Amino acid sequence: MDTFRTLLASSFFLVGCYFAISLIVSAFALATLFSALFAFIAAHFVIPSDYRRRENGWAALDWVVSFIELPYWCIVFIGRFLARIITAIFD
């Protein structure tokens, strides 16, 4: 089941990459931006939560999972950064 969820997260990640590249190459569209964000966030939540406790034989899969989570953590970092700026402005 972990392998299936990892493959599903990989497919969400690839769809998100497609939308992100489409956003850059063709004209900017909010629907494409939100689709890419949704795909990256869905990929993060589909990944099995216990992937860090696997045996040593899953090293390649751990690299894939870390690569899939990178866009999500970038989105979270940007969101927290903007929230701190906004709260600093209104305080």
How many alpha carbons fall within 13 Å on the CB side of residue 61?
18
Structure tokens of 79? 């969101």
Alpha-carbon span 23 to 34, nearest angstrom = 10
pLDDT tens sequence across 45-55? 988 776 556 66
Q: Which segments in the chain show pLDDT lower than 50?
A: none
Residue closest to 71 by CA, chosen among 43, 48, 46, 40: 40
pLDDT tens sequence across 58-73? 677 778 788 888 999 9
pTM surpassing 0.75?
A: yes
pLDDT of residue 17: 94
Alpha-carbon span 74 to 76, nearest angstrom = 5
Residue closest to 43 by CA, chosen among 82, 79, 8, 80: 8
